[in-house]
Amino acid sequence: MSTTPLLKVENLKKYFPVKKGMFGKTVGYVKAVDDVSFFVNEGETLGIVGESGCGKSTTGRVLMRLLEPTDGQIEFDGKDLASLSQEEMRKTRRDIQMVFQDPYASLNPRHTIGKILEEPLIVHGVSDAKERKKKVREFLEIVGLNAYHAKRYPHQFSGGQRQRIGIARALMTNPKLIIADEPVSALDVSIQAQVLNLMQDLQKEFNLTYIFIAHDLGVVRHISDRVAVMYLGKMVEVADSEQLYGKPLHPYTQALLSAVPVPDPDYQKEQIIIEGDIPNPADPPTGCTFHTRCPFKMDICTKVTPQLAEQTNGHSVACHLYTTQVDNDIKQLEGSL
């Protein structure tokens, strides 16, 4: 595994305007992704976890420019995706493909599997029909289906098989990066394991880089080399998956990990149950957005937004508990009051 970043995201923002009244006046913004920076190395898997509304899916869509970023840079393979024209971006999508959550909704029910898989090749200019058909058959076999499945329609497949088709479709253009948004959460446990194993095999075989977006912390740990945790549009912690799961620093990550039920009745864990709900993203708390639920809340947390800062090698956290600058900040704050 090399360590050159294939994708480098800086200060990415996606704000959705909240409109009101007859003339649609913008009265505020939902900061779905708010100043997020990260990188993904070639050949690795970056997991992005978080609860509903944290901005993980929006991040994935903005990277693909399925949603236009409000601000920020997305450097992929030497190009800034955020500043490409629509046409240039369309061509670049050959290298970045996406796998979606719902295998029932993301395959056109009126098209045969063959047609669905051929489509990306047509879009990206493979004009030889024979070659396209050959590739369809080849990739069906690669994802564990059979060449004769090309003649069938999506409803003739089970959920797990459909997700295999979704993965095959993403692979058709030989992409470098695959963004998988909750690819296994609609599947039964026994099928989920099959699809995860398939994704790992394909990664090795085609030297793929994955961004794996999911809410299931067990699944993310299994597949990811590094993991980023998001809360209300911000990245609160990023680390090697061993580090993050072994020694989580952010109080939110700690609570999140302790909340996951472990399939082992003998496992004694310290359960931190955090009170309250996720705040409304249209009206997030001031300062650190987690302070309304945080057991270690300090004065500064309600006033100053903590920045993501590296603690140990590759382990970054956005929390005032770890800011050596806390004292200075407080003094500064007191001075300004």
Binding site for other proteins (CB under 8 A): 51-52, 158, 160-161, 188-194, 196-197, 200, 215-219, 221-222, 241-242, 245, 255-267, 271, 273-275, 277-278
Give min distance, CB of 107 to other proteins, in A.
17
- Which residue's CB is nearer to other proteins, number 22 or number 189? 189
Nearest to other proteins of 5, 144 (CB atom): 144
Minimum gap (Å) between residue 221 Cβ and other proteins: 5
3-class SS string, the chain: CCCCEEEEEEEEEEEEEEEECCCCEEEEEEEEEEEEEEEEECCCEEEEECCCCCCHHHHHHHHCCCCCCCEEEEEECCEEHHHCCHHHHHHHCCCEEEECCCCCCCCCCCCCHHHHHHHHHHHCCCCCHHHHHHHHHHHHHHCCCCHHHHHCCHHHCCHHHHHHHHHHHHHCCCCCEEEEECCCCCCCHHHHHHHHHHHHHHHHHHCCEEEEEECCHHHHHHHCCEEEEEECCEEEEEEEHHHHHHCCCCHHHHHHHHHCCCCCCCCCCCCCCCCCCCCCCCCCCCCCCCCCCCCCCCHHHHCCCCCCEEEECCEEECCHHHCCCHHHHHHHHHHHC
Query: Smallest distance from the beta carbon of 132 to other proteins, in angstroms?
Result: 28
Shortest CB 199 distance to other proteins, Å: 11
Cβ proximity to other proteins, 142 vs 278, nearer residue: 278
Query: C-beta of 288: minimal distance to other proteins in Å?
Result: 16
Residue closer to other proteins (CB basis): 23 or 267: 267
Shortest Å, Cβ 5 to other proteins: 23
Q: 110 or 204: whose CB is closer to other proteins? A: 204
Of 57 and 70, CB closest to other proteins: 57
Shortest distance, position 189 Cβ to other proteins, whole Å: 5
The nearer residue to other proteins, 12 or 30, going by C-beta atoms, is 30
